[in-house]
Structure 1
Amino acid sequence: MSDLHNRLVTMLIDDLGVEDRAAEPGITFDEIDVDSLLLVEFALLIRREFGKELPEGSLTAGSTVADVVGMLQEA
């Protein structure tokens, strides 16, 4: 896994209190009980940490950390 992927997982676990399963490849936010409010908080953390804003609505319950990595690499 990339450094970016690992940093995002760390943010989910340490900053948002998401369960450690967030590190599992392919697991969706829904599967680790990340609701829409946490997704908004995650997007704000990403903007603060990386200076990149994700398109509104791009983070969904069916998204994975790998999806977010791809979005950040494209931004």
Structure 2
Amino acid sequence: MKNTYDQLTDILVNQFEVQPEEIGPDLTFEELELDSLFLVELNLVIKRDLDVEIGEDDATPRSTVADVVRLIDAQLNPAS
């Protein structure tokens, strides 16, 4: 089973055509040249694929990939 980081990376690569070598946990979506409209689309894909809903204010272009992984993990594993 893939961890959350790998799942998010797969979404970025397969759904949004981000090159895998460009993705890193400490990179912001802004650094990946992904804007707020992208984040709306990303939230929809995460909801569909992972059954997790991220609030519009929780993920911004200045959020890192790791920030979004933590948001997803917090909902998937609320006791952690």
Q: TM-score, normalised by structure 2?
A: 0.81
Deviation of 1:56 after TM superposition, in Å, equals: 2.3
Partner of 1:53: 53
Please give the per-residue CA displacement for 1:13-54, whole angstroms capped at 9, x wherever unaligned. 1111123312x2301100010111111111000000111111
Q: Unaligned stretches of 5+ in structure 1?
A: none
**Contact 1:19–1:32 under 8 Å retained in 2:** no
Q: Which amino acid in 1 is paired with 2:30? A: D
Alignment of 1:8-19 (within 5 A): 8-19=8-19
Q: TM-score, normalised by structure 1?
A: 0.86
CA distance in 1, matches of 2:56, 2:39: 11
CA distance in 2, matches of 1:6, 1:31: 19
CA distance in 2, matches of 1:56, 1:62: 13
Q: Unaligned stretches of 5+ in structure 2?
A: 76-80
Give me the CA root mean square deviation: 1.4
1:31 and 2:66 equivalent? no
- Over 4 Å off, 4+ runs: none
CA distance in 1, matches of 2:37, 2:46: 14
Please give the per-residue CA displacement for 1:46-74, whole angstroms capped at 9, x wherever unaligned. 00011111122211111111111111121
Higher helix share: 1
Identity %: 36
